[in-house]
Amino acid sequence: MSATNFIKNPSGRFKPVKKLSTSDAREQAEALREGIRYHDRLLEAGVQVTPMPKRDEQPLAGKTFVLTGALESLTRDQAKDRIEVLGGRATSSVSGETDYLVAGADPGSKLDRAREEGVEILDEDALLKMIDSSP
């Protein structure tokens, strides 16, 4: 039985390869070195790195959120990122699997759908309290 190696493809996912060529190995090693240099430059510039919570410290694990309407203090991408860092999932449509709908200004039809599905509705302040009180 031959060993299988894995390399990261451009989408960020790992794929198995039977054999890693010398040029591929050099390219991967150089990419790793460049990443380390970039990380060091960020630290030197004063950027503070916050570690991701461990899996057992993800208070939103298993929870599904839908964002609708305009949020005041976060962009939709920022809110989505914060939810995902804490283990939650942000989706674009309300379903029976949705746990929370975060309703900003002018929420539209997603709010009606969430009410029909019995989904808990949060305003932006409630979302911020939820994500800011998490470790």
Q: What is the mean pLDDT of each run of 10 residues along the chain (135 residues)?
A: 50 58 80 89 86 72 94 92 91 94 94 95 94 71
Q: Which amino acid is at 69?
A: G
Both 80 and 33 in a single domain? no
What pLDDT score does 2 carry? 43
What pLDDT score does 22 carry? 73
Both 72 and 31 in a single domain? no
- Selection from 102, 112, 117 nearest residue 70 by Cα: 102
Q: Rounded to two decimals, what is the model's pTM? A: 0.60
What pLDDT score does 111 carry? 95
Determine how many CB atoms are found less than 10 A away from the CB of residue 84.
15
Both 85 and 39 in a single domain? no
Instruction: Please check whether residue 50 lies inside any domain of the structure.
Output: no
Q: Are strands 14-17 and 120-122 parallel, antiparallel or unpaired?
A: unpaired
- Return the SS3 of 65: strand
What pLDDT score does 15 carry? 56
Both 34 and 80 in a single domain? no
Note down the domain range covering 77.
Answer: 55-132
Among the residues of the chain, which ranges form H helices? 22-44, 76-85, 109-117, 124-132
What pLDDT score does 83 carry? 93
Instruction: Please check whether residue 49 lies inside any domain of the structure.
Output: no
Counting beta carbons within 10 angstroms of the beta carbon of residue 69, is it exposed (0 to 12), middle (13 to 18) or buried (19 or more)? middle
Counting beta carbons within 10 angstroms of the beta carbon of residue 78, is it exposed (0 to 12), middle (13 to 18) or buried (19 or more)? exposed
